[in-house]
Amino acid sequence: MDFANFQKVLIISLFYHIFSVNAIPFTRTSSVERRDVASQSDHVISTIVNGMDSKARMFYVIVWTHESSCGGAIIDRFWVITAAQCVFGKNVSTISVEAGDFSNARSRKLFSGVNKVAIPSGYNVMSMDDDIALLKTDKSLRAFRMGLQVLPICEEARDSGTILGTCGMGSQSNDRILMYPSVLQETHYLDAYMPDCPPRQLCTESFIDKSSICVYDQGNPLYAMNCGFKKPACLYGVASHWQGSGEVLGPRCSGQNIFTRVVPLYDWISHTITTN
């Protein structure tokens, strides 16, 4: 084993030790039980297969449309980032944002309408390049005393082997039966080079066994973790799709998870926010 691979094995071993000491057993509830506090809908919500209970990620939001929902993140007091596929072609009046502490099923949530959607010109529905969208909310997401936080955009790429995390509302079994959790779920990855991955996308697999983003996880934030692995440092990507997402039979969520890199879009994101 060369030194670089030894470092990665050591990082993963330390990571498991840190996150598994106080692990809470995973429990599932029905959609009605889970959504009985400040909810708009009983539709299926963002899910992560075999995730672990997450700490409070006060930047995480759910983006609702009339048809379904996606994940997202607060990146400015009036702006949320999500996947373009979640809102592309949708009337802005049908989109809303739910924010709050999703690690606490009984916590108060804030709902906001959306008055503007911005999608980069490079978004391609076939290749899924630049699969991000910015949503301007009709009320400040920092004006309410709920502890909501902004997740800053990473300005540059991190070194190979950087620990990355993503969070979403739950876990879904791979037998195509939707299951709901009561609290926010999280899974983790290494930023590793994949030779067949398009340059504006990040293709990776969770090093937590059989863990994956899944149906309605599009738009979930992917964040680089600070040293120590417990606190997100900055937004590194946005969940787009996963290997096997087009399969009709068999496990629907397995293998590589694909995220849109935000570093190449940093200037576009900054310009959109400052000029609108």
φ/ψ (deg, to 5) at 274: -75, -20
Enter the CATH code of domain 60-150+265-275. Answer: 2.40.10.10
- Quote the pLDDT of residue 36: 37
Burial 225-264 (b: 16+ CB within 10 A, else e): beeebeebbbbbbbbbbbebbeeeeebbbbebbbbbbbbe
Q: Whole-number mean pLDDT of the chain? A: 78
Rounded CA separation 115/93 (Å): 7
CATH number for the 151-263 domain, one of 1.20.1270.360, 3.30.470.20, 2.60.40.10, 2.40.10.10?
2.40.10.10
φ/ψ (deg, to 5) at 131: -80, 65
Contact 196, 40 (CB under 8 A): no
Which tops the pLDDT comparison, 11 or 261?
A: 261
CATH topology match: 60-150+265-275 vs 151-263? yes
- Quote the pLDDT of residue 236: 97
pLDDT at 245 over 60: no
pLDDT at 62 over 90: yes
Q: Determine what percent of the chain is predicted with pLDDT higher than 70.
A: 71
pLDDT at 37 over 50: no
Rounded CA separation 152/262 (Å): 11
User: What residue segments make up the domains of the chain, in order of their start?
Assistant: 60-150+265-275, 151-263
Which tops the pLDDT comparison, 7 or 87?
A: 87
pLDDT digits (tens, 9 = 90+) for 76-110: 999 999 999 999 999 999 999 999 998 888 899 99
- Quote the pLDDT of residue 118: 98
pLDDT digits (tens, 9 = 90+) for 206-228: 877 777 888 788 999 999 988 76
Residue 193 binned pLDDT confidence (cut-offs 50, 70, 90): confident
At 6, list the tokens.
């030894």
pLDDT at 122 over 50: yes
Contact 74, 148 (CB under 8 A): yes
pLDDT digits (tens, 9 = 90+) for 16-33: 333 333 332 322 232 233
pLDDT digits (tens, 9 = 90+) for 147-172: 999 999 999 998 888 889 999 874 45
- Quote the pLDDT of residue 186: 87
